[in-house]
Amino acid sequence: MMLDFIPEIPISDWTTDFTKWVTDKFAFLFDFIKDNFGSLMEFLTAQLMVIPPIIFILIIAVLAFFLSGKKFGLAAFSIVGLWLIYNQGLWEHLMNTLVLVLIASALSVIIGIPVGILMAKSKIAETIITPILDFMQTMPAFVYLIPAVAFFGIGMVPGVFASLIFASPPTVRFTNLGIRQVSKELVEASDAFGSTGAQKLFKVELPMAKATISAGINQTVMLALSMVVTASMIGAPGLGREVLSALQRAQVGPGFVAGIGIVILAIIIDRLTQSSSKKENM
Amino acid sequence: MPIIEVENLTKVFGRHPKQAIELLDQGKSKEEILQETGQTVGVNRASFSVEEGEIFVIMGLSGSGKSTLVRLLNRIIEPTQGNIYVNGENLSEMDKKALREVRRKKMSMVFQKFALFPNRTILENAEFGLEIQKVPKEERQEKATKALELVGLGSYLEQKPEQLSGGMQQRVGLARALANDPEVLLMDEAFSALDPLIRKDMQDELIDLQSTMQKTIIFITHDLNEALKMGDRIALMRDGSIVQIGTPEEILVNPANDYVEKFVEDVDRSKVLTAEHIMKRPETINIEKHGPRVALERMSKEGISSILVVDSKRILQGYVTADDASQAIKDDIKDLQEILRTDIPKAMKDTPMNEIFDIINGSPIPVAVVENDRLVGIIVRGAVIAALAGNSGVNE
Ligand SMILES: Nc1ncnc2c1ncn2[C@@H]1O[C@H](COP(=O)(O)OP(=O)(O)O)[C@@H](O)[C@H]1O
Ligand SMILES: [Mg+2]
């Protein structure tokens, strides 16, 4: 057969070898991250747990009230929703999930915006990075779990790593898009007045791209949240783990309750990030 | 020394500009080069110089290369070849830093679609250039406020651009450029997007501003009437090349080729041509030497029914008619003074034609053109009509 001229290419072996090589070679780095980052996140979770739930709920409600333009809807929803999670005995899981999502999102933004800027500034960078982003987003998220475990063992840190890979592309893409969309005339005006590259970026391009970048960040946060169940498969604690264990034991009730908790969190985070980006837009 | 001097400036858009340059040197046209190589010639070997304090207009149809040319002057578009000297310094050889200094201090740009920053207030927009130069906040606010007051927007500092009308937005654009106190303003069709009435106001104001501030202005337009009104000199572009440079009069009266002539054809001549263009050498008699007899003799020789009277210094005294002169001869009057009429219509050399038209319309006798009371010419009715009709050869 024509198709058999070339024997099977050992892609999977290569990948395994490569991952192993990276794991060995950068063990010091991964260990460093795992230890420090892991304890940082535990510390954060512990701090959040110190805040009495009632205070926490009120803070979120006030935030919701002001960010949504002094409307009561989101604030009321936050109070009822968060109280329900508390009522179902899921508070600690909620805090764990929150830390996972926030850290993964923050890292996505910290890494994603500069990468997006690079893409906007360099045609070559855009040509190289775009297919990588496509790859990151279409590869089933489960696949990231394997190297994540190899690098960081199990727990919160590999969860963040997998979420980061899965969730960062929108921030990168939207940053690139937002900057490229800035009207040619404004860029020209900025050049004509003698801006340096950095001045142009910070005084014109980023402010003009703000709304688009915010939309990207919103998507990133939602994707990070959607990863919590997947991440729990490698030991990340939180609401996701409750869903997973309910699944493993075929318990509809607890699964549904934990699932509702994720939905409530998703709605609150989505509306909060959306309304803050809308406000910046004005 | 001219403030801006441009030599052989060329811009080719495309991947192989060298190839296009060779073809240009062989005398191929923009069209042929596009056909053969796919390269677009934006500006083709333009050379000109602009004097300090001048309004230099670059005019041409859409696509003729005006925007490209003006952007080559501050290297927002990189030239393919050629030199740009600003105050004698070669801009085309400057490094980025030196170039930025020129853009910050010497040349500011005003854009066709205003290009204001929508997220900034009017004041912050006007401050932009100074902010880029890291001028302290208080100082730059003061300067920007002054510039805004100059264009009549002193009370809109805290508004956002979208709250202003088009005309006001362009005033902000102008203030933003003026706040830097540049030597040169580059204005790319700055008034083209405005309504005719507002546009006229802006033109007048810019001319006023220029006469008080003595900025050098490079003014782009596709509108000949605007060019004639604004320009001390006009460069006419076609297909990337400059086809004629001259004062408005030169362009109107001596179009360099058919293209310019065609362009000039539909201009409203009455606004641009002045008395000087259509006046003739007058027949006169001298009140100190001549009497009614000589006057009548001259008139019958020239076939005219009245004649202008001057003194030995050519100061205009009035006119006498043929009827009065023959009556005086019968009555044996020797002195012209007795039949001199003084109700003579007058104009200056720079009186525009439309005004002369009004003057001459109600008058049976020609219009005298005077300069410091001295008679310099005469305008007869026929000349006005001929000039208004666009008949060339008006300047005999
Ligand atoms: N960035 C560009 N890339 C390719 N061609 C261009 C570019 N900018 C302008 N041109 C071409 O250069 C010529 C001159 O354009 P332009 O300077 O904008 O003319 P104008 O301002 O007189 O309307 C046109 O043929 C136009 O298509
Ligand atoms: Mg143009």
Write the CATH number for A254.
1.10.3720.10
CA of B239 relative to ligand 1 center, distance in Å: 10
Would you state the pLDDT for residue B283?
Answer: 85
Strand partners, B185: B108, B217
- Please report residues of B whose CB lies closer than 8 A to that of A204: 117
Range of the domain at A232: 18-50+88-280
Would you state the pLDDT for residue B268?
Answer: 63
In a domain? residue A96: yes
- CB contact (8 A) between residue A191 and residue B101: no
Q: Is the ipTM of this complex over 0.90?
A: no
- CB contact (8 A) between residue A193 and residue B104: yes
Nearest-CB residue to A189 (from B100, B102, B111): B111
Mean per-residue pLDDT, A2-24: 86
- CB contact (8 A) between residue A188 and residue B115: yes
Mean per-residue pLDDT, A191-199: 95
Q: Is the pLDDT of residue A282 over 70?
A: no
State which ligand 1 atom lies nearest to the alpha carbon of B66.
22
- Residue of A123, A182, A193 to mutate for B, most B C-beta atoms under 10 A: A193
β pairing state of B284-286 and B374-379: unpaired
Q: What is the CATH number of the domain that holds B370?
A: 3.10.580.10
- Please report residues of B whose CB lies closer than 8 A to that of A210: 119
* A166 within 8 A of A112, measured Cβ to Cβ: no
Tokens encoding B247: 């004062």
- CB contact (8 A) between residue B115 and residue A186: yes
Nearest-CA neighbor of B218 among B50, B86, B72?
B50
In a domain? residue A102: yes
The verdict on B187 and B290 lying in the same domain is: no
Would you state the pLDDT for residue A278?
Answer: 63
Q: What is the distance in angstroms between the CA of the first residue and the CA of the last residue of chain A?
A: 65
Q: How far is CA B79 from CA A62, A160, A173, B212, B395, in A?
A: 57, 50, 33, 33, 41
CA of B64 relative to ligand 2 center, distance in Å: 8
pLDDT digits (tens, 9 = 90+) for A225-246: 988 888 888 888 888 888 999 9
State which ligand 1 atom lies nearest to the alpha carbon of B13.
4
Q: For each of chain B's 396 residues, which pLDDT tens digit applies?
A: 899 999 999 999 999 898 899 988 888 889 999 998 999 999 999 999 999 999 999 999 899 999 999 999 999 999 999 999 999 999 999 999 999 999 999 999 999 999 999 999 999 999 999 999 999 999 999 999 999 999 999 999 999 999 999 999 999 999 999 999 999 999 999 999 888 888 888 999 999 989 888 899 999 999 888 998 899 999 999 999 999 999 988 888 788 887 777 777 766 666 677 888 788 888 888 888 888 888 888 888 888 888 999 998 889 999 999 889 888 888 888 888 888 898 888 888 888 877 887 788 777 788 899 988 899 888 887 777 767 655 443 333
Distance CA B56, CA B44 (A): 19
- CB contact (8 A) between residue B131 and residue A203: yes
The whole-chain average pLDDT of chain A stands at 89
The verdict on B252 and B297 lying in the same domain is: no
CA of B42 relative to ligand 1 center, distance in Å: 5
In a domain? residue A104: yes
Of the three residues B224, B247, B267, the one that is the final residue of a domain is B267
How many other CB atoms are found less than 10 A from the CB of residue A206? Answer: 17
* For ligand 1, mutation pick of B31, B40, B64 (most atoms within 8 Å of CB): B40
* DSSP code for A182: S
Range of the domain at B279: 275-389
* Atom 7 of ligand 1, residue of closest alpha carbon: B13
The verdict on B261 and B285 lying in the same domain is: no
In a domain? residue A187: yes
* A182 within 8 A of A125, measured Cβ to Cβ: no
In a domain? residue B350: yes
* Atom 3 of ligand 1, residue of closest alpha carbon: B13
In a domain? residue B130: no
Nearest 10 degrees: Cα torsion B99, B101, B104, B109: -20
The verdict on B246 and B379 lying in the same domain is: no
Nearest-CB residue to B76 (from A183, A188, A204): A188
Sorted by sequence, the CB contacts under 8 Å of residue A282 that are 6+ apart come out as none
The verdict on B193 and B319 lying in the same domain is: no
In a domain? residue B171: no
In this structure, the residues whose C-beta lies within 6 A of any atom of ligand 1 are B 13, 40, 42, 60, 62-68
State which ligand 1 atom lies nearest to the alpha carbon of B68.
17
Tokens encoding B369: 């053109």
Would you state the pLDDT for residue A137?
Answer: 85
Of the three residues B267, B294, B313, the one that is the final residue of a domain is B267
pTM above 0.80, yes or no: no
Number of domains in chain B: 2
β pairing state of B4-13 and B81-86: antiparallel
- % of chain A beyond a pLDDT of 70: 97
In a domain? residue B132: no
pLDDT digits (tens, 9 = 90+) for B164-215: 999 999 999 999 999 999 999 999 999 998 888 888 889 999 999 898 888 9
Strand, helix or coil at B145? helix
The whole-chain average pLDDT of chain B stands at 89
Sorted by sequence, the CB contacts under 8 Å of residue B204 that are 6+ apart come out as none
Would you state the pLDDT for residue B388?
Answer: 66
The verdict on B217 and B279 lying in the same domain is: no
Nearest-CA neighbor of B275 among B354, B390, B362?
B354
Rg (CA), chain A: 22
Number of domains in chain A: 1
Q: What is the CATH number of the domain that holds B204?
A: 3.40.50.300
Q: What is the DSSP string of B350-378?
A: T-BHHHHHHHHHT-SSPEEEEETTEEEEE
Distance CA B25, CA B42 (A): 15
Write the Ramachandran bin of A130: left for phi over 0, alpha for psi from -120 to 50, otherwise beta.
alpha
Interface of chain B toward chain A, CB-CB under 8 angstroms: 71, 74, 76, 100-104, 107-109, 111, 113, 115, 117-119, 128-129, 131-133, 176, 180, 186
Q: Which residue has the tokens 């024997």?
A: A7
User: Residue B84 corresponds to which amino acid?
Assistant: I
| H or E element at residue A257 | helix A252-281
Tokens encoding B99: 């170039």
pLDDT digits (tens, 9 = 90+) for A80-127: 999 999 998 889 899 999 999 999 999 999 999 999 999 999 999 999
* B29 within 8 A of B104, measured Cβ to Cβ: no
Would you state the pLDDT for residue B157?
Answer: 93
Sign of dihedral through CA atoms B84, B87, B90, B95?
negative
In a domain? residue B243: yes
Strand partners, B50: B4
Which band of pLDDT confidence, cut at 50, 70 and 90, is reported for residue A34?
confident
State which ligand 1 atom lies nearest to the alpha carbon of B237.
22
With vertex at residue A245, the alpha carbon angle to CA A243 and CA A246, rounded to the nearest 5 degrees, is: 65
